[in-house]
Structures are given as structure tokens and as C-alpha cells.
Structure 1
Amino acid sequence: MSAMAVLILSNPVLYSLELTPACNNRCRGCYNVFADERARPPLTLEGWRRILERIKPHAHLVKLTGGEPTLYPYFEGIVTQLRELDISFSLFTNGCWSAPERLVAFLKTVPQLRGLLISLHGATPAAHEAFSGVPGSFKRTVTNIRRATEAGLPVTISAVIHRRNLDQIQAILALTRNLGADHVAFNRYLGPRDPAIEPTDRQLRQAVLMIEALRQDGAPVKFGNCIPQCFVESSSTGCLSGVAYCTIDPGGNMRPCNHSPLKCGNLLAQSVEEAWQSAEMQRWRGMVPAVCHLCTAFPQCHGGCRAMAVELGLEKDPLAGAPLIAAQSPPERITLYEGLHPVGAYQLREEEFGYVLMRGNRIVPVAFAHKAVLDACNGQTTLKEIGADFGAEGLGLVAMLARKGVIELR
């Protein structure tokens, strides 16, 4: 069996900006790893401006996070900078805001905001607060989710799967709908080892299968972080850290992801290219176990979570098992009606190896040779015409891109 490869972008296009380590929750599964940054004063607006100007030529989407990003002393200032530089961004927050009316009204004025990702770790106060560690946080979060959605802001719920919410998967989905949020992203637990809150492998596998069944029934659910396909087959996609994504911490350091303490350069003193091509980042990319490259699921999975492997002193993701050597189930099928018109719903980026189609967190590589098919996905050309011009190969490409969510069929 030949080894599988993952294409590395020449520069990251997805960024998490950790504005501050400060937080008003005390989550038992907190993943923040920048302990040495907690004693430092927060980076100034001038410092962040320098970083934003460096990432602007490459940034497809920036996520503001923390800690709790709204506790950054100059939060409105950095959002204003994103607006001035016309950089698209999302806000990852716990929803426990000190001035919720002001925040929502302010965010409504920023067209570059693509949406809010709000942490809600249960459908009841007991379940959520068992994770958040703060009494009353459930009510505050739920109230502010509703405030945001009623103001017209797009909201996705982020829920970590833990022992106290294992029986609430469907209830969390129901609450998501009731609050007017668009989706719920379920995440595996990636925090410190804690048997009181961390689910067993069997419990996690059952939860993933339930979420996947809901997704296949059309429910607005998805997976927010990587779950190896050799652990349980699902629609979870692999981590893009070091491939298309990186984190910038409160000190300006580039790290592969927000779960890893590995520093690969500092954007206050270095270019994006220098940090992205640094020896440290190359070492991170080389941490994928060799056996994973032989797995048929590697292009989707990317080898699982390297940060957890490093944290636990393991050679691979603790959930990873034996590599898959054959497809575990037939590929998802999509019906193409010849009268439909495919429409591109992506931004196009050119790399040495071909094009990259970007939509939200989705990154789909396409060969240069397929540019004519992409051009035909213009909302005017029918699938029948594409089939006549490009044959089965062209229709297959359209079907794949539709499954990946970067082309819409109308």
C-alpha cells in the first residue's frame, strides 16, 4: 500500500488569535497551554495591528479566542482593526459577557463578522456547570445566545462531550434549535486527564455514532475537532494545524494549534513565512506516525490529534488504533439532476500544487487542469452541459465539491 500525503499550504489561511488568557469560566477541560503568558501584560493594540497586517495577505478567516476574548481590554479596538483591514473573522466565546447589550449592538455594525461560536456544554445547568465550573454560567450563556440570535447574529453552539452530558446529545440539539442557533459542533474532550469528567472510549464512541446518525438524518450537527477514523467512522475531518491553520498566542507567538505549547516563531519580529516554514513547525508536521500515512482514511483524518499525543507522551493520538486498509462503508452518494446549476461558494487560492477552494474551515485542493470545470460552476451552466463538455470526470469533480460543501447545486 502506498503512503498517503497531505498538501501543505505555502502560508496559513486560518488563524486563531488568543487575545488574552483571562477567563470568567473555570472549565475542567480547559485546553489553554500558554501558562508562561499569564503573567505578561496583554499585547497592545499596536502589537496586534502589526500582526494583523502581516497575516492579512493570507488570512481567509480569523477566529478571536482566548481565554475569553471579550475580556481583552481593547476588544472593540481589535475588532475595529479587523473591519478596517477587511479581514473576515468569527468570535469564539463562552457567552458570559459583562455588557451583553453593548457587545451585540457593536458586533452588528461589523460586516466582517462571520458568526459567533458559543460554548454550551449541556442542556441543563447541572451538566453545563459541571464543565464550566461557575454557578450561574448556564443561565448567562443561554440568555446571551438568545440575545445574539434575536439580533440576527449567526451563532453556532460548541459543546464538549463529557460524562455529564452523554445523555443530552439530542437535548443539546433541541436547545440549539430553540435558541435560534444555526448548528451545534460537538467536540471530543482534549483537556487534562480527569476521569470525573472525561468520557471513556466506549462512551465517546457511542456519542459519536449518535451524532453521526443525527447528521445523516439532516440535523444541523457537526464535529468540531478531530476524531480518528480508526477509532470510529464518522464525518469528522482531520486537524489542519501546520497544514492551513495556526494559532497566535497572547505574546505574538505562532503555534501549530491552540492545544500545543510549541512555539514556531513570533510575528512581532518575524514574517508569517519565516514562522510557518520554521524548523519547529516542520518538526510538528513530522510528528504524524508513519503508520498513519499508510491508512486509507489519512487524507480525511490527517493522523488524529498530535497535541494530545505529545501532552501524554505517546507516539500517536490516544484514540488511534490500527490503520484502515479498506473503505469501512460505501462512500456517501449524491444525486446529480441534469437540470441543476452548480454555483461556486468558495474563495480561490493558488498554490504551487494547484488551486485551493476555501469556505469557512473547509479547504479543498483541486488540480490546475480542472479550472475549466470550476469556471463552469457559475450558476448558468447546467449539469447536463457540464457532462457534455467534461464527461464523467467533470461530473465526478462537481459531485465531490458538492459533498465537501464548496459548491452548491441550485
Structure 2
Amino acid sequence: MTKIDLKLGYACERQCHFCVQGDLRRRFPKPKSAAELMTALREGRERSRSVVFTGGEPTHYPWLPDLARAARLLGYTCLQVQSNGRRFADAAYCRELVAAGVTEFAPSIHGSTAELHDFLTDAPGAFARTWAGIVNLLALGQSVLTNTVVTSRNYADLPALAALLAGAGVRHIQFAYVHIVGQAAKNAAWLVPRKSEAVPWVLKAVDAGRAGGARCFIEAVPPCLLPGYEDCAAEPGMPVMTIYHADGTTTPDFTQERLDVQKRKGPACSGCVHDPVCEGPWHEYPELFGFSEFVPVAKTVP
């Protein structure tokens, strides 16, 4: 399975405390040009029929529907918009994207209450708009895949959030442990929990989501910390991703990039039954907390 990630630009109306992109919006204020976007779509189409539009915030750019139509004409069959969900509060805009050929919507939501979500995104009123967007998309019968960043401030709220989402009709919920780069690195002292502290709440959230009929996935948590929930690990099901960055660079194979550069395993991991499929945590995590939480699961002898 393959996919291309097309980053339109780094502009975004929010200042999320966990944003991995840090100061990219300041360093690269201009979006990719129409010519650059079309070149990326044509190149990407040679290896995939699936594209996700990201940023920054892709709905910030008024030509997103035109880009979706262009992708359809090139033969893409799966078009996802990964968003903070703000623009989805406009039902007419949702209908425009659907008419343009978008097939999946991936809004991010980080708390079951306005107080929590608005704090983490540093945007008063953000929860109300994102929630209205989710409701709009579900009313249109669209595929909605939510993403939630797991932090010290919200992990105890995750079961309530999962119940809220599943109860509304969301059928794909993902929890992504905070990646300690960009703004998250600056705020690590109060934002980043130990995995062993947060994961029990994530698993309770999985139970709540499943009880409501949703499939739940967990990103950036090795399976040794997911006993009985190993099938929730997101990485084994991830597509081979080519990323076209908004600064003009390209990552040809993000899976290999994660394995070679961005993830890291501890010295004892080779003896774990999950070693062949586990990527390990983002390398910033053991640099902060070490590997003591990652206990190898013994291989069974036939």
C-alpha cells in the first residue's frame, strides 16, 4: 500500500502547543506554487492512487477544491484532507470538497471539552468549530478519521473523548503519542508524559471507542506497552509514504526514514517477540526518558 503526502504550505491559524513543525511557517511563509503541486501530483501518481493533503493547514488555501479535482483527473481514487477541522464547520465548504472528489476527512481533536481542546490548540472557540465540522461531515455520510495527540494535559480525558467521538458516529479514531520536536520540544517539561503513565488511559480510550463501534489505533507506542492491544499499533498498517514538503524537498520513503533516522530501539529490543514489526519510539523519547519502560516480550518456544 502506498500514499503520497502533499504539503500545500505551512500556514495555519492555530498555535498548537504540540505542533511538530515549530517555526516552519515563519521560515517558509509561501505555499507551494500551482506548478509545484501539479508536478508532485503527477510524480506521485506514478507510484500511488492515494493522496493526503496536509500542511500546515490545507484548508487555509482557497484552491484546495481545485487541487482535489486535478488529482481526480490524474486518476487518484483516495483523497484525504488532514485538517484542524476549523473550515469543516462550514457545511457548504464540506459539500464543495466532497463534490471536488475528496473521499476522507481527518480532523484533529484533542479533548472532549472546549476548555481542554482550546487550551492545547491555543485557539479560543476551536473545539466548537472542529466539533461542528465533524458533525457536518458525518451528516453528509463522509468517512471521518480523527487524530488526537496524547499529552500530559489530555491523557486522562481520552476515554471521554473516544466515547464522544464513537457516540457521534466516528468509526476510525487514532491516538498519536506526542512527538517531541517543534513546539512540543519547547513545551516538553509540562506537555510530555512518560508512556507508562499515559498508555493505561489510552487503552481505556480504546475500550470506550470500541464499545461505541469505532476502530481505534495507537501511533508511536511500541507493542510491548500494549499487551492485549497489539492489534491497535498503527505502524504495521501504515502505507509506504512519499512526502512532498512545502519547502520543496521530498522524502521518497517515510517508512524507511522512520526506521533509519527517526525511530530508535533499545539494546534489549532484539530479544522481543515484536522486534520484526516494531519501529521503536521516536528517538527523542529515550533521549529524554531512557529505555527502561520498554521491556522485551519473551519469544515463546514451540
Give the alignment's TM-score, normalised by structure 2: 0.81
1:14 match: 3
1:95 aligned to 2:85?
yes
Greater shift in the superposed pair: 60-69 or 22-31: 60-69
CA displacement at 1:204 relative to structure 2:
1.0
CA distance in 1, matches of 2:155, 2:169: 22
CA distance in 2, matches of 1:127, 1:281: 30
2:95 match: 105
Aligned residues: 291
1:232 aligned to 2:226?
yes
> Aligned letter for 1:252?
G
CA distance in 2, matches of 1:95, 1:173: 17
Counterpart pick for 2:202 among 195, 208, 232: 208
Find the structure with the greater CA-based Rg. Answer: 1
1:27 aligned to 2:16?
yes
1:250 aligned to 2:239?
no
Counterpart pick for 2:275 among 298, 304, 324: 298
1:68 match: 57
Counterpart pick for 1:154 among 143, 153, 157: 143
CA distance in 1, matches of 2:271, 2:66: 47
CA displacement at 1:250 relative to structure 2:
0.3
CA distance in 2, matches of 1:280, 1:177: 33
CA displacement at 1:119 relative to structure 2:
0.8
Give the alignment's TM-score, normalised by structure 1: 0.62
Q: Which runs of 5+ in 1 are unaligned?
A: 1-11, 256-274, 328-410
> CA 1:116–1:297 in structure 2 vs 1: closer, same or farther (change >3 Å)?
same
CA distance in 2, matches of 1:319, 1:43: 43
After TM superposition, list the pairs within 5 Å mapping 1:4-403 onto structure 2: 13-32=2-21, 35=24, 38-87=27-76, 88-97=78-87, 100-111=90-101, 113-191=102-180, 192-193=184-185, 194-214=188-208, 219-233=213-227, 234=229, 235-237=231-233, 239=235, 244-255=240-251, 275-276=252-253, 283-284=260-261, 291-301=268-278, 303-305=279-281, 308-309=282-283, 311=284, 314=287, 321-326=294-299
Please give the per-residue CA displacement for 1:55-82, whole angstroms capped at 9, x wherever unaligned. Answer: 1121142211111111135322221211
CA displacement at 1:199 relative to structure 2:
2.8
CA distance in 2, matches of 1:196, 1:70: 30
Task: Tell me if the contact between 1:288 and 1:316 (Cα under 8 Å) persists in the aligned partners.
Answer: no
Please give the per-residue CA displacement for 1:26-60, whole angstroms capped at 9, x wherever unaligned. Answer: 11111126728833521111111111111112114
CA distance in 2, matches of 1:251, 1:280: 18
2:14 aligned counterpart, secondary structure: coil
> CA 1:318–1:56 in structure 2 vs 1: closer, same or farther (change >3 Å)?
farther
Task: Tell me if the contact between 1:185 and 1:224 (Cα under 8 Å) persists in the aligned partners.
Answer: yes
> CA 1:206–1:289 in structure 2 vs 1: closer, same or farther (change >3 Å)?
closer
Greater shift in the superposed pair: 77-86 or 289-298: 289-298
CA distance in 1, matches of 2:172, 2:258: 32
CA distance in 1, matches of 2:51, 2:262: 22
CA distance in 2, matches of 1:248, 1:316: 32
1:107 aligned counterpart, secondary structure: helix
CA displacement at 1:84 relative to structure 2:
1.0
Task: Tell me if the contact between 2:3 and 2:239 (Cα under 8 Å) persists in the aligned partners.
Answer: no
> CA 1:317–1:129 in structure 2 vs 1: closer, same or farther (change >3 Å)?
farther
Greater shift in the superposed pair: 238-247 or 120-129: 238-247
CA distance in 2, matches of 1:246, 1:95: 24
> Aligned letter for 1:304?
G
